[in-house]
Amino acid sequence: MRGLLVGRFQPFHRGHVDVVRHLRKEHPEETLILGIGSAEESYTSDNPFTAAERYEMIARSLQAESLDQWVAIPIPDIHRHALWVGHVVELLPTFERVYTNNPLTRTLFERAGFEVVSPPMFDRELFEGRSIRRLLREGSTGWRERVPAAVAHYLRELKAEDRLRALPPTATE
C-alpha cells in the first residue's frame, strides 16, 4: 500500500516535514512516495533547485527526523494537464491514495478516480516555498528558521542566496 504526496519542494521546508511526519504516523503501514514535481526545472526563479538537490534536501531532513518508509521520485512535467495523472501513474510506483492541498492536483486525480486526502496544513503562510525563495533572494536570514536544519546547512553549501539573486524574477513575483 502506497500513498503519494506531490510537491515541487523548492525548497523542502518545515511544513513539508510536518506533513510527512503526520502521514507516516497516521498510516504506518503505508509507504509514502514524495513525487518531486517539475523535476526537470531548475535555475529559474520559481524552481531554483534541481531534482537531485531537492532529493538531497528530502533525504537529509527525513533521516535527521528518523522518518522512514518513504521514497522520493522525480516527476518531469508533461505540459498536458489532461494527461498528467496518466503520466504520473506510468512513471511512479503504484499508489492507491493521493495527499494534496492543491486544488488542481485534487481535480485531476479525482477525475481519474483516485481517493484524494487533504493533509492538515501546518502554518502554511509561514512555510510556503514562495516566501522562502523571496527571503533567499533578498538575503534575509528569515529563511533559515523556515527550513529544517539539514536543509539550511545544504542551502548554504549550494550558495542558494547567490543563485536566487542571479535568476530573473518571474511575472508572478
User: Applying CB under 8 A, which residues contact its own copies?
Assistant: 39-44, 50-52, 55-56, 59, 71-74, 76, 80-83, 86-87, 89-94, 103-104, 106-108, 162-163, 165-168, 170-172
User: What are the residues whose beta carbons fall under 8 Å from the beta carbon of 29, sequence distance 6 or more?
Assistant: 1
Measured CA to CA, the distance from residue 128 to residue 90 in angstroms comes to: 29
Strand order across the beta sheet in which 2-7 lies: 70-74, 31-36, 2-7, 97-99, 115-117
Nearer to its own copies, 22 or 106 (CB): 106
CB of 85 to its own copies, least distance (A): 9
User: What are the residues whose beta carbons fall under 8 Å from the beta carbon of 47, sequence distance 6 or more?
Assistant: 8, 10, 38, 41
CB of 26 to its own copies, least distance (A): 23
CB of 145 to its own copies, least distance (A): 26
CB of 59 to its own copies, least distance (A): 7
Calculate ∠ Cα 56-96-2, nearest 5°. Answer: 40
Under a CB-based contact definition with an 8 Å cutoff, are residues 160 and 48 in contact?
A: yes
Measured CA to CA, the distance from residue 56 to residue 12 in angstroms comes to: 9
CB of 62 to its own copies, least distance (A): 13
Measured CA to CA, the distance from residue 67 to residue 87 in angstroms comes to: 28
Nearer to its own copies, 74 or 119 (CB): 74
For the chain, what is the total number of helices (H) and then of strands (E)? Answer: 8, 5
Nearer to its own copies, 15 or 48 (CB): 48
Nearer to its own copies, 68 or 145 (CB): 68
Nearer to its own copies, 116 or 145 (CB): 116
